[in-house]
Amino acid sequence: MRHGGAGECGWAVFRQTLPRDPGNPYEEERPTSIPMVTPAAIREAALLLLGKIIRTPLVYSPTFSGMTGAEVYLKLEAMQKAGSFKVRGAANRILSQREGIGNQGVIAASAGNHAQGVAVAAGIAGAPATIVMPVWVSPGKQEAAAGYGARIILNGSTLQESIDHAMNLAAERSMTFIHPYNDEAVIAGQGTIGLEILEDLPDTGSIVVPVGGGGLIAGIATAVKAIRPDIRIIGVQAAACPSAAAARETGGPATVTAHPTIADGIRVTRTGDLTWPAIRDLVDTIVLVDEAAMVNAISALLERKKVLAEGAGAAPLAALLSGAVTPAPGEKIVLVISGGNVDAFLLERIIRKGLYDSGRVLQCTFEIEEGVRALPHLLSLVAAEGGTISRVEQERITPDLPLHLIRVTLEIEVRGPRHGRRVMAALETAGYPMKVPIQGTGTHP
C-alpha cells in the first residue's frame, strides 16, 4: 500500500483481487484498480475547511478513565456545526467543486446528520439543497434539516433506497448528488478529524470510530495511519446492522438486513465501495454493540460529561464500557463522539430506560391492607430509607384482588442498585413483600 505525497492528486490506486467465477475453475485471478483517498487530499481538505467549520475539542474523561483503566479522551463532533461530523465531508465536497454546481443546486440522501451537513454546507456555498430521507427518520431530524434551508423529500424504507431515489432525481433535474460516504471529497473531509486528533494528542494509542457506510472511519484511518501506522483504528457498529463487519468476513461489501436500532446514523445496509479499501487495509478491527450498551453509553455521557450524543455517537463508548474494546492499561484511547442529533422524544425514552437498567429507578408492586394509614405508612418507609417516590398507582377493584386489599405500584428513585436493594429489604422487613418482581435492579454497583 502506498500513500500519495503532497504533489500527487487526491487519489492513490490500490490493487484488489476479485473472487474467481465458481463456474470456471480455470479462470485466473482478476486484478482491478480500487481508488482510495490520499493523506494529501485530507490535508488539502483541512486547509479548505479552515475557519468554515468548528475545530472540535478533544477532552479527557477522568470518570471513564477510572472505569476502564485507560486514559480516555472524547473527540466531540457532537459540538460541530449542525451537530455532527457530516458537515466536514459535505463542505469539502461542495466548496471544492462549487463551480460545477448548477442553479438546481445539490441533492443528498440521509438519515439525518448528512442532511444537516449538506444543508449547512450548501448555505455556506450559496447553493440550494434538497434532501431525500428514509420514511422512518424522526420528525426532529426532518425539521432540523429543513431549518438549515433544505427541501425535504421522504422516500425509501432503507438509506440505500433513499440514495437510489436521490440519484434518479439528480439525473432528471440536473442536480449535483452528494453521497453521504461513497465520495472521495466527502471521505477526505471526514479525515480531517484524524489530523486534529494527532495534533492534540500525538501519543494516541487507539481511536474508536462509529461505522455506517464507512466514510468517517476511512478518512480517519487514512489520515492517521500515514503519520502513525502503529495506532489501532477500531470500528464500532450496531449489532442490528453489521454491514462493515459482514464485509470483513466475506471479503467485500455485502448487503445485510437492517433491524431497528437507536443508532440510526449508522444503520447502513452496505459498506461503500470507495470506503471498503480503507476498512479492509487500514482498520484493525470491527466490533459490534447491542442496544442496551448504547442506551447505557448515552446515559453515561449525559450524566457524567454533560455531553448529548445520539446512538451512533455513543457507540464508541458503548464498545469500551461493554468490553467489546479492551484497551491496554494506561493506553490513551480516543472515542469519536460523532454526533448529538437525537430526537427529543427518543431521548426521553432512552434516559428513562437507562435509569431503569442502571438501577437508578425501581418499579415494584405491593398488596397492602385497605385503610387510611396503610399507604402513608408505606410511603414513609420509602422516604426514611432515602428513596424518592416519583409515581404512585393504586388498584382497588380488580377480579384477582381480595376486597380488603389494595394494589400499589411505586416508582422509586434511588442512588443505585445497592441503595435500591436496601430500600426493598427495609420494606420487606416491615411487612411489605413485593407481589410483582422488581424492575430496575441494575447491573452496576
- Mean pLDDT over 8-29 rounds to 36
Residues 164, 201: one domain?
no
Comparing CA positions, the residue from 14, 26, 85, 87 lying closest to residue 52 is 87
Residues 233, 323: one domain?
yes
149 inside domain = yes
pLDDT band at 13 (very low <50, low <70, confident <90, very high): very low
- Mean pLDDT over 216-240 rounds to 97
Residue pLDDT, tens place only, 21-51: 343 333 333 334 455 799 999 999 999 999 9
- Which sequence positions are flagged as catalytic? 86, 338
Residues 60, 128: one domain?
no
122 inside domain = yes
In contact, 63 and 321? CB cutoff 8 Å: no
Residues 97, 200: one domain?
no
Tell me what pLDDT residue 36 has. Answer: 74
| 3-class secondary-structure state, position 73 | strand
Residue 18 has pLDDT above 80, yes or no: no
Tell me what pLDDT residue 2 has. Answer: 33
Q: Are strands 106-109 and 176-178 parallel, antiparallel or unpaired?
A: parallel
Tell me what pLDDT residue 177 has. Answer: 95
**Which of the residue ranges 272-286, 365-379, 428-442 would you say has the lowest mean pLDDT?**
428-442
Residues 247, 389: one domain?
no
Tell me what pLDDT residue 439 has. Answer: 58
Q: Which residues lie across from 75 on neighbouring strands?
A: 58, 336
Mean pLDDT rounded to a whole number for the chain? 87
- Provide CB contacts within 8 A for 432, sequence distance 6+: 366, 368, 378, 381
What is the domain count for the chain?
3
Residues 224, 332: one domain?
yes
Comparing CA positions, the residue from 358, 364, 360 lying closest to residue 439 is 364
Q: Which residues lie across from 108 on neighbouring strands?
A: 131, 178
Which of 178, 204, 230 marks a domain boundary? 178
d(CA 265, CA 263): 5
Residues 67, 91: one domain?
no
Angle between helices 417-429 and 374-384 (to 10 degrees): 140
Residues 245, 200: one domain?
yes
Which of 338, 353, 368 marks a domain boundary? 353
- Please give the backbone phi and psi of residue 297, each rounded to the nearest 5 degrees, phi first: -70, -40
Tell me what pLDDT residue 403 has. Answer: 84
pLDDT band at 440 (very low <50, low <70, confident <90, very high): low
The CA-based diameter of the chain, rounded to the nearest angstrom, is: 89
Structural domain including 125 reads 86-178
**Which of the residue ranges 187-191, 328-332, 355-359 would you say has the lowest mean pLDDT?**
355-359
302 inside domain = yes
In contact, 328 and 201? CB cutoff 8 Å: no
Residues 169, 268: one domain?
no
Residues 302, 430: one domain?
no
- Provide CB contacts within 8 A for 90, sequence distance 6+: 108, 114, 117, 118, 120, 121, 122, 178, 186, 189
Residues 203, 324: one domain?
yes
Tell me what pLDDT residue 438 has. Answer: 61
Tell me what pLDDT residue 436 has. Answer: 61
Tell me what pLDDT residue 11 has. Answer: 35
12 inside domain = no
CA dihedral 173, 178, 184, 187 (to 10 degrees): 180
pLDDT band at 388 (very low <50, low <70, confident <90, very high): very high
Residue 294 has pLDDT above 60, yes or no: yes
Residue pLDDT, tens place only, 108-157: 998 778 899 999 999 989 999 999 998 988 787 788 889 999 999 999 98
CATH code of the domain containing 298: 3.40.50.1100
**Which of the residue ranges 3-7, 119-123, 343-347, 424-428 would you say has the lowest mean pLDDT?**
3-7
136 inside domain = yes
Residues 204, 266: one domain?
yes
Residue pLDDT, tens place only, 171-213: 999 999 999 899 999 999 999 999 999 999 999 999 999 999 9
Residue 443 has pLDDT above 50, yes or no: no
Tell me what pLDDT residue 24 has. Answer: 34
